[in-house]
Amino acid sequence: STIKAIKNKQVYKLPTMDIGGPRAPLISLFIALKAHPEAFKGVDVNAIVKDYYKVVFDLNDAEVEPFLWH
């Protein structure tokens, strides 16, 4: 391919979530993480995602697990 992002393996699949729904803030976090990984050094992004699901959706650890970005 002649597309730079494809050549450099910088094409990412968004996690499954509603674009305009209550998970929209996580899309911004995901894009920021992929675009500027250096800004997230030392940040436990999965802890942020876990806390978000617990607060917004009242989920426990087991229920949140499938949504974490391993």
Q: Which of 49, 51, 59 is nearest to 16 (CA)?
A: 49
Say how many CA atoms lie within 13 Å of 41 toward its Cβ.
Answer: 2
Determine, yes or no, domain membership for 32: yes
- Give the range of the structural domain holding residue 53, as residue numbers without chain letter: 21-67
The whole-model pTM stands at: 0.70
Determine, yes or no, domain membership for 49: yes
Determine, yes or no, domain membership for 6: no
pLDDT per residue, tens digit, the chain (70 aa), is 688 888 988 888 776 656 668 888 888 898 899 889 999 999 999 999 999 999 999 999 999 999 888 6
Distance CA 69, CA 34 (A): 12
Q: How many domains does the chain have?
A: 1
- φ/ψ (deg, to 5) at 12: -125, 145
Distance CA 37, CA 40 (A): 5
